[in-house]
């Protein structure tokens, strides 16, 4: 799939199903690209577009940076949360797309006195998918933590005593409320970024640059 033919290079875009795919569609439209299949109904993992030179890979959200880093995809869309965990090596990040906006927060059971536990220097068990971000956050605060790596449904961990706190993304707060958890600290604002393979940017610049610019213009309009 790595056709570096300069006359008509193939462009491969890595996206995850769900909110990133949905929110990227208008940006693709702004660049004149329409995806011809719906990943919610198709089982295909390589989707055609109206441009025979452009195809879309459907991958897990946390795998987008890996596909782009290794050049299996030329570009992709990934949350800042995911990029911080990945490290961003080999990735050029030209545009904050301002989509899939949320925040990374610490949350605890409604009855748990987090501030007091921190003040007392308690050792906290923290369940999260975002171990790198969580480690850095608590290290900066000088709070000792035992990190428990989970892959989803973080909100469950404090409910069943697996952890004292979670670090997860919050948007409306509805999931926290539904599980009787409270947000006690905001760590950072999160949005999704365009990520581009550094070699592809050089080899396919002529084809990629107009798309990057169209994404940038469209994301500013909706921001």
Identify the residue whose tokens are 């299949």: 37
Residue number, 74 or 85, with CB nearest to ligand ADP: 85
168 binds ligand PRP (CB under 6 A): yes
Q: List beta partners, residue 102.
A: 190
The secondary element (H helix, E strand) that includes residue 211 is helix 205-222
Residues 173-207 as b or e (16 or more Cβ within 10 Å = b): eebbeebebbebbebeebbbbbbbbeebbebbeeb
Helix %, strand %, coil % for the chain, to 5? Answer: 35, 30, 35
Least distance to ligand PRP from the beta carbon of 152, Å?
5
Positive or negative, the CA dihedral 188, 192, 197, 200 is negative
190 binds ligand ADP (CB under 6 A): yes
Residue number, 111 or 174, with CB nearest to ligand PRP: 174
With CB under 5 to 8 Å by kind, the binding choice for 168 among ligand PRP, ligand ADP, none is: ligand PRP
20 binds ligand ADP (CB under 6 A): yes
Question: Cα-Cα-Cα-Cα dihedral of 142, 143, 146, 151, to 10°?
Answer: -90
Residue number, 170 or 200, with CB nearest to ligand PRP: 170
CA 212, CA 30: separation in Å to the nearest integer? 10
175 binds ligand PRP (CB under 6 A): yes
Chain residue at closest Cβ approach to ligand ADP: 79
Size of the site for ligand ADP (CB under 6 A): 16
62 binds ligand ADP (CB under 6 A): yes
102 binds ligand ADP (CB under 6 A): yes
With CB under 5 to 8 Å by kind, the binding choice for 174 among ligand ADP, ligand PRP, none is: ligand PRP
Contact status, residue 58 vs residue 47, Cβ threshold 8 Å: yes
Which range touches ligand PRP (CB under 6 A), out of 74-82, 92-100, 104-112, 164-172?
164-172
Least distance to ligand ADP from the beta carbon of 30, Å?
20
Q: List beta partners, residue 170.
A: 103
Residues near ligand PRP (CB under 6 A) = 152-153, 155, 168-175
Residues near ligand ADP (CB under 6 A) = 16, 18-20, 61-62, 79, 81-82, 100-102, 169, 171, 190, 192
């Amino acid at each position: 799939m790595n056709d570096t033919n300069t006359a008509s290079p193939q462009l491969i875009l890595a996206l995850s199903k769900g909110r990133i795919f949905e929110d990227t569609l208008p940006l693709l439209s702004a660049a004149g690209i329409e995806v011809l299949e719906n990943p919610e109904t198709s089982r295909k993992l390589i989707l055609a577009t109206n441009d025979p030179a452009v195809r879309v890979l459907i991958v897990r959200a946390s795998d987008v940076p890996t596909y782009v880093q290794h050049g299996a995809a030329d570009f992709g869309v990934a949350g800042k949360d995911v990029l911080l965990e990945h490290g961003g090596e080999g990735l050029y990040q030209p545009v904050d797309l301002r989509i899939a906006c949320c925040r990374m927060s610490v949350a605890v059971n409604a009855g748990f006195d987090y501030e007091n536990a921190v003040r007392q220097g308690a050792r906290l068990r923290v369940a999260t998918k975002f171990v790198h971000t969580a480690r850095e956050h608590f290290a900066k605060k000088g709070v000792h933590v035992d990190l428990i790596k989970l892959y989803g449904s973080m909100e469950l961990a404090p409910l069943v005593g697996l952890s004292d706190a979670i670090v997860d993304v919050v948007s409306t707060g509805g999931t926290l409320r539904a599980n009787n958890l409270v947000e006690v600290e905001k760590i950072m604002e999160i949005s999704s970024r365009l990520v581009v393979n550094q070699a592809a940017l050089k080899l396919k610049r002529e084809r990629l640059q107009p798309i990057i610019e169209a994404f940038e213009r469209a994301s500013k309009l909706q921001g």
